[in-house]
Each structure stands twice: as C-alpha cells, then as structure tokens.
Amino acid sequence: MRIGDKLIDKGRLMKTVERILDLRSRGLSQQETADRIGIDRVFVSRLESLGEVRKGGRVALVGFPVGNKDDLYKVAKEEGVDFVLLLDDEERWRFVRDRSGLEVLNEIMAIISKLRVYDVVIFIGSDMRCNLVESILGNRVISVVVGASPIKQDAKIDPEDIRRIIREVSSPD
C-alpha cells in the first residue's frame, strides 16, 4: 500500500499489532512490550485505547469442583471475563493423577503467577481453598464458598450469582 512517498507492508503492520497485543495479554507491561518490539511505550498505550471495549479491571474466574461449568463459562464469556479456569470433580482429580508431583507444583505456580495480573479473581471452592487463595492473592479475591473441605462431589453454582458478582467488580465506578 502506498501512502504518499512511503510503501507500507500492511501484513507486517498487522503482525506487529498482533504481537503487541499478545505480549500485553500475557502480562508484559507497556514498557516491556515496547522495548521488545522496538517502539515507544506511548504507541502501545494509544493502540490499546483504540481497541478498548470496556473500562474496569481485569477479571478472572477460577473454581473447582463445579458441576455446571458450561453454564458459568457462558456467563463469563457474555460478561467479558478475561480468564476462566473451571474444573469439575473428575477433571480436578485427573489434574493431579496424570502428573508428577513436580509437574503439579509447577503448573499450580504458573496459574498463580498468571492470576496475579488480574485486578479481581472470583474463586469458587471449599472454605479451605478459598482461604488459601485469599492468603496468596490478597484482597483481589472474591470467594464463593461451596462447602467445607474436603468437597467430594461437584457443586452446582447459580450462574446468575456469578453474573451479579462479575458485574459488580467490572463496573468502572
């Protein structure tokens, strides 16, 4: 594409924009992203402003054991939740059964690290798990306690309760 006396490679431009957005969505700061790409941080900020759909903090939804996780995924998608990890009872046991202790520890640490970039983490779990997540992530956690630990079966969560919580934490007020 020619613009004045410049020849612009539109494909290269789009790949660069996609790379910027990918780095930012993986938790890199605007400055870190700009440094990696070789551009000004202000450009990253303006690019994000152009595509911004909503104000408010980034929200994650995590929970187990959830029996109606498909219903909660649907609500999370409709409400623009940024990260969702829901496991039913079978999936949570498979998570630990199919990995070595070191693999379980590493994966849990990676998930915790990922959750630290969110402004709010809605966590669904037993009383003990909720307390543990709150102690790790602090006041950014909103707990939905589904029973006393240990929970031995899937819990059914009212999707509208989750929708209400998401809306409360997502409003830019």
Reported as a single tens digit per residue, the pLDDT across 58-107 is 999 999 999 999 999 999 999 999 999 999 999 999 999 999 999 999 99
Give yes or no for residue 142 having a pLDDT over 90: yes
**Buried b vs exposed e over 33-46: b needs ≥16 C-beta within 10 Å?**
bbeeeeeeeeebee
State residue 50's pLDDT score. 83
Give the SS3 label for residue 167: helix
What does the alpha-carbon distance between residue 119 and residue 25 come to, in Å, rounded to a whole number?
14
pLDDT of residue 171: 73
* Cα 146 versus chain centre, distance: 21
Query: Cβ contacts of residue 108 below 8 Å, gap of 6+?
Result: none
CA 125 to chain centre: 17
β-bridge partners, 86:
63
Q: What is the pLDDT at residue 114?
A: 93
pLDDT digits (tens, 9 = 90+) for 110-126: 999 999 999 999 999 99
Residue 173 has pLDDT above 90, yes or no: no
What's the confidence (pLDDT) of residue 48?
84
Closest CA to 47 of 14, 11, 17: 17
Tens of pLDDT along 6-18? 999 999 999 999 9
3-state percent breakdown (helix, strand, coil) of the chain, nearest 5: 55, 15, 30
- Which pTM was predicted? 0.68
Task: Look at residue 51 in the predicted model and tell me its pLDDT.
Answer: 74
